[in-house]
Amino acid sequence: MKYLSILTLAAMLLLGSCVSQKKYKKMSAELEQCKTLRGSLDKQVKELTDMANQYGSAVNSLKKDVQQLKLDTTQMGEAQRQMASNYNEMSQKMRDLKDKSEKKSQLTDKEMKSLLAEIQRNQEALFQKQDSVNKLIEALNEKQKTLFFAQVNLKDQERRVKELESVLNERDSVVKALRKTVNDALVGFVGNGLSVNVKDGQVYVSMEESLLFKTASWQLSANGTEALKKLAKVLEKQTDINVLVEGHTDNVTFNGPGQVRDNWDLSVMRATSVTKLLLQNGDIKPLRITAAGRGEYFPVDPANTMEARAKNRRTEIILTPKLDQLLKLIGSEK
């Protein structure tokens, strides 16, 4: 019995093992079918999703088209109403024109002539006004041309004035510097029969007779010679300065010996003596210097006293900056 029981148990185990393997194979087959079916379903879901997205886009596009159609319909309706309004307006105008035409056809000859005469008068008045307007336009154009040329000329004049001012300012600067240079060179003589002044854009070096000459003589004194030598050294360096030497006398009649017979001759001889000494003591081109005798006719003090006559007996050395640039500007104005 014991062995029988063992055999029975063994048979049952063996039989149970066979059944499990069959079920396993069956279940495996069913699982594969499920996987295949799942894949097919996923594919169908994806296709349906894509189709749904496409339908959604199409629906949105159709909605936009519907909105645009509504807008177009509104605009077309407005345009149609405007066209209808324009048509009605044109129709009314046509009726008005027809009425006017019929009324005109009913005018009498007298009324027609009067109307034509009025039209002609209006046309003539219009032509006259147009002619007046044309003349005004021409006058305005002429004035504009005149104004334009005036403005151009004004600008040119302003430019010239500025150029002249620049040259004059430059000249004044040169004159002031020259006066200082001469004054410094002759400082020992200034106030002792010699003065240095600026007048009319020129430097005047005025020397009294007592510094340069003895009475009725044109021979230079030692002091006068020393002063003129110093001045010659200044003029030697001032190459752009022209020099005018003027001799002056008083109004006392001069009765000199030889060919120097009057104040004219004496003033010329004194101017010539000063000029020659300047040339001898400085490297100065003679073309820069002019000697002139003024006689008694340009007194600084017209009084008939000893003091006035002493002032009038003098020699003036007038230093003038060259004005070539200024003369060119003045010449260009002509």
pLDDT in tens, 17-71: 444 666 666 666 666 666 665 665 566 556 656 666 666 666 666 667 656 656 6
Q: What is the pLDDT of residues 226-257, one digit of tens each?
A: 999 999 999 999 988 999 999 999 999 988 77
Q: Between 153 and 178, whose confidence is greater? A: 178
Res 13: pLDDT: 43
The confidence score (pLDDT) of residue 145 equals 79
CB 283 within 8 A of CB 312: no
Query: Is 174 a member of any domain?
Result: yes
Q: What integer pLDDT is reported at residue 4 of this predicted model?
A: 42
| 321 within domain boundaries | yes
9 pLDDT above the threshold of 50: no
pLDDT of residue 144: 78
Strands 289-295 and 241-248: parallel
| Interatomic CA distance for residues 100 and 150, integer angstroms | 58
Q: What domain count does the chain have? A: 1
Report d(CA 334, CA 323) in Å as an integer: 17
Residue 97, in any domain of the structure: no
Residue 25 domain-assigned (yes or no): no
* Residue 238 within any structural domain of the chain: yes
Q: List Cβ neighbours of 190 (8 Å cut-off, separation of 6 or more).
A: 183, 196
Please give the helix or strand (H or E) that residue 223 lies within, else none. helix 222-237
Q: Which two tokens stand for residue 194?
A: 């010699």
Q: What sections of 186-205 are H helices per DSSP?
A: none
Q: How much is the pLDDT for 111?
A: 66
Bigger pLDDT: 176 vs 45 = 176
Q: What is the pLDDT of residue 320?
A: 92
Quote the domain boundaries for residue 279: 170-333
210, part of any domain = yes
Predicted structure pTM score: 0.54
The 10s digit of each residue's pLDDT in 147-174 is 787 777 777 777 877 877 777 788 788 8
What's the CATH code of the domain at 279? 3.30.1330.60
Strands 289-295 and 202-208: unpaired
Asked if the structure places residue 215 within a domain, the reply is yes
Alpha carbon separation from 23 to 8, 13, 15, 37, 244 (Å, rounded)? 23, 16, 13, 21, 149
Task: Please report the pLDDT score of residue 161 as a whole number.
Answer: 77
| 238 contacts: CB under 8 Å, gap ≥ 6 | 178, 181, 319
**Mean pLDDT value across residues 8-12:** 47
pLDDT score recorded for residue 140: 76
In a domain? residue 279 = yes
Across 255-283, b (16+ Cβ under 10 Å) vs e yields: eeeeebeebbbbbbbbbbbbbbbbbebbe
In the chain, what percentage of residues exceed pLDDT 70? 63
